[in-house]
Amino acid sequence: MSNFWKSTTLGTLCEISTGKSNANEAVDDAPYAFFDRSKTIKRSNRYLFDCEALIIPGEGAEFFPRYYSGKFDLHQRAYALFNFDSSVDIQFVYWHLIHFHKYFERVAVGATAKSLRLRHFTDLPISFPPLPEQHRIVKILDEVFAAAAKAKENAEKNLQNARELFRSHLHSVFAVHGNGLPERSLVDLCETNRVITYGVIKLGEETPGGVPCLRTSNVRWLNVETEGMKRIKPSLSKEYSRTILKGGEVLVNVRGTLGGVAVATSDMAGWNVSREVAMVPVDATRVNPRFLSYFIGSGASQQWLGGVKKGAAYIGINIEDLRQLPVRRPQ
C-alpha cells in the first residue's frame, strides 16, 4: 500500500449510534424511511436522524452497509454511521465496508443469532488515501457497479420475456388439451388428514435465526423468492402448526397481490406461511404438485380465481372458494 495512505480505526472518523425504535412501530405509507435488521426499507411516522449515513444491521447473517441521505428512523438493533470527518468521503467508507463485510461476520457474537456490538465498529481498522484519490476510487467503483446493475437489469428483462413466453405456452396447453379431461375440486386432491388453509395471522417481530415465513412477496408465479423473507419465532399453537410445511405443498397467494403460486420444496420443510398465503397439502398419489402449480398458474384457473375474489381496498380469495377450484388433469 502506498505510503500516502493513512491508517486508523472507524471510531475516529465518524459518530456511531443505534436507533431507539422497534419493528412494530413501522407504519405503511408513513413519511420517513425506517431501517431495521431486514433488507426491506420500512416506513415510520418519526425520524431520529437527518443526515448522510451508512446503516448496518446489528443482527443477522449478513452485515452489508446501506447508504442513505435525509430523515430516517432506526431500529434499536441497527447502527448508523454519520458525521464523518472531513478527511474521508462517506462513499469511500461505504465501498470499504462492502469490501470488508466478512469482518463483521467474523467478529459478530452469539451462537445462533449473530449480533454486533459498538466496539466492532469503533475498532474496525480502515486505511484511506487523500480525498482526491478517494473520489477517483469511488468514481471507478460507482461506474463498475452501475454497469453490473445494468447487466442484471438486462438479464432480468430477458428472464421476464422467457417467463412470458412460457406463460403463453402454458395457457395454450391447458386451453387446447384441458377440455375433456376429468374434473375434480382442488380439495379432493389433497391429503386426507390435512386441509387447505391460510397461514399464521400474527407473525410477530423479526427473529434472527427464526423460522422462515413466506409472504405474498415471496410466493411469485411458479417460484419462491427468499429475498426479504421474514423469520419468526416457532410456536406450539394450533394456528401455527396447521401450516408447517413438509415439502410438496402448493402455495397460493389469497390476499393482497394475487396470482402467485409455487411448490414448497423439500428444503423448506419446517418453514411456515403467513395469512396471505394458502397452503394446499397435495396428495402426490392423486396429482403431481408441479403439474397442479402449472394448472393453477394458467389462464383458465387465474380467471376463475379472479371471478371469486372479494374486496375493494384489500382483495382476497376465501379459502372455501379456493377449495372448490375445478382442476382438470389426466388420469
For 167-193, the pLDDT digits (tens) are 666 666 565 555 556 788 999 999 999
Rounded distance between C-alpha atoms, residue 184 and residue 172, angstroms: 21
Per-residue confidence (pLDDT) for residue 190, from 0 to 100 = 93
Q: Report phi then psi at 243, rounded to 5.
A: -125, 25
| Residues belonging to the chain | 331
Rounded distance between C-alpha atoms, residue 33 and residue 241, angstroms: 34
* Cell numbers standing for residue 118: 459498538
Query: What residue ranges of the chain have pLDDT lower than 50?
Result: 1
Rounded distance between C-alpha atoms, residue 319 and residue 216, angstroms: 16
DSSP at 100:
T
Rounded distance between C-alpha atoms, residue 83 and residue 49, angstroms: 11
Rounded distance between C-alpha atoms, residue 298 and residue 276, angstroms: 20
Q: Which residues of 274-295 are buried (b: 16+ CB within 10 A; e: fewer)?
A: bbbbbbbbbeeeebebeebbbb
Rounded distance between C-alpha atoms, residue 271 and residue 51, angstroms: 39
Mean residue pLDDT of the chain comes to: 87
This model's pTM is above 0.85: no
* Cell numbers standing for residue 260: 402467485
Per-residue confidence (pLDDT) for residue 134, from 0 to 100 = 93
Which residues, listed in sequence order, are joined to residue 190 by a DSSP beta bridge? 282
Per-residue confidence (pLDDT) for residue 282, from 0 to 100 = 94
Per-residue confidence (pLDDT) for residue 168, from 0 to 100 = 65
Question: Integer distance in angstroms from the first to the last C-alpha of the chain?
Answer: 70
Asked if 260 and 220 touch (Cβ cutoff 8 Å), the reply is yes
Share of the chain above pLDDT 90, in %: 53
